[in-house]
Structure 1
């Protein structure tokens, strides 16, 4: 029996996450204390999304839910407070995340100036509009519909604790330091699986809430970024390349599984909850 050990929401795409004890699991991802996963995103003036791939310092932007606001901290910066209530009068701009073009709410000049000072580049902060839906590709879902906000592809990223333990054992054997789970930025961490068993799961059932792993997560350079310092290194991808290149993903290095909500959207997950798992074969 698998057990939920971590639930993490990333309010702003590619910035630090918030660990929560309980979260509602919607069709478009986790929701807790008034905040959705990847509800905000940084974009260029032209609307193209920004991530730690280009700006590792995004890892140092730390969110905290404070009543009716999301408070943001970054080294050397004053607190930035974002109201959780949607501003119906906020300007709408079109933003691009991969191949999707989405109407998003601009969060204003003060937020833009704050992030520009943090990252050293001209940018805007946008928020996912409550009247918008972003459908995910059905290529990997067998035609089943799903949605997400500003996540790269699918609403929930799952990693088994044993998979990280396996990687860390290999890193230590190579004379390198082990890495924390936050290098891989999952939403859901579970214990009780064998290493990389999540690759072969047909479903995880949490009392009527059914998650279905659909697509291996191809790893970009972000696992090379220390989430506590925003600095690059050490990079685990060379070790992962030796045994985690996935032919289903054209040889991309994969760790973790992207999941959709197959049943029971709106139900809750909580840390310590047991999950009934079913294998695909």
Structure 2
């Protein structure tokens, strides 16, 4: 039952492409720079792949010190900007919840508006960002949908694709599921659902809740085009949740910060109790 970390992926700009890592710092808000930036409309309302699917083709890169952000997309000149954490704060909306952010300027706004074909701004979480996320172990995050870290086991992913293929449809890529941490070594699918406290490297995570999946999983992450109905069609046959939606993987809060590295073993110290 020993599981190890096989993939680490951070998403510096919410909704944009992930960045594969060999190691990463783990902050209270998750992997370093994860969802630190967000694309919004002129009113400050968040944009995601649910509607703006071409976010998937934008590939961000943050410098080691967090001071520079580079944005790349097909057939467009890259844009490099100096990250602003000092300018006056602006109001933004994430799923109806109000937050404060720092606008990253006119150059980023123009570049994103051209790539997405609609008016956009780019904002960053301010240093004083104090969002509290819910779940069994409450925590914090940047502009992620909810918890700081999305953990998915390879056995859960393989089981999903086996079901999709058994129905005569093409499997989905791992990128469609947008995990932060992928682990291998648990034979039974959905073992992550039963983890309550786990050490990885010198860090500790606490289970928050199951990861309810949305229409972003229907988007081809290479083309930026909707490619549904998988995986939601198949997940609906065996992973429906009592509160609505379908789940795959789990969200975790950071109980102890530190460093994660590919190959780190997981040490589960608390499993789900029978009472739960």
- TM normalised by structure 1 equals 0.91
- Residue 212 of structure 1 deviates from its aligned partner by 1.5
Matched, 1:269 2:260: yes
Q: Secondary structure at the match of 2:60?
A: strand
Matched, 1:280 2:269: no
- Residue 102 of structure 1 deviates from its aligned partner by 1.3
Partner residue of 2:226?
A: 232
Structure 2 unmatched ranges of 5 or more? none
Partner residue of 1:172?
A: 165
Given the superposition, is the C-alpha separation of residues 79 and 207 from structure 1 closer, same or farther in structure 2, using an over 3 Å criterion? Answer: closer
Partner residue of 2:26?
A: 25
Q: Secondary structure at the match of 2:225?
A: coil
Deviation per residue, 1:199-224 (Å, 9 max, x gap) = 11112212442111221111111111
- Residue 131 of structure 1 deviates from its aligned partner by 2.2
Given the superposition, is the C-alpha separation of residues 87 and 252 from structure 1 closer, same or farther in structure 2, using an over 3 Å criterion? Answer: closer
Matched, 1:204 2:198: yes
Matched, 1:133 2:127: no
Partner residue of 2:238?
A: 243
Given the superposition, is the C-alpha separation of residues 174 and 125 from structure 1 closer, same or farther in structure 2, using an over 3 Å criterion? Answer: same
Partner residue of 1:185?
A: 178
- Equivalents in 2 of 1:171, 1:71: separation in Å? 36
Matched, 1:120 2:114: no
Please provide the CA RMSD for this pair. Answer: 1.5
Q: Which moved more, 1:154-163 or 1:207-216?
A: 207-216
Given the superposition, is the C-alpha separation of residues 276 and 56 from structure 1 closer, same or farther in structure 2, using an over 3 Å criterion? Answer: same
Matched, 1:50 2:47: yes
Matched, 1:37 2:34: yes
- Residue 98 of structure 1 deviates from its aligned partner by 1.7
Deviation per residue, 1:250-269 (Å, 9 max, x gap) = 1311111010012x22x111
Q: How many residues align?
A: 267
Q: Secondary structure at the match of 2:171?
A: coil
- TM normalised by structure 2 equals 0.92
Structure 1 unmatched ranges of 5 or more? none
Deviation per residue, 1:159-180 (Å, 9 max, x gap) = 1111110011111111111111
- Residue 66 of structure 1 deviates from its aligned partner by 5.0
Partner residue of 1:108?
A: 105
Partner residue of 1:221?
A: 215
Counterpart pick for 1:259 among 228, 252, 256: 252
Contact 2:79 / 2:108 at 8 angstroms: preserved in 1?
A: yes
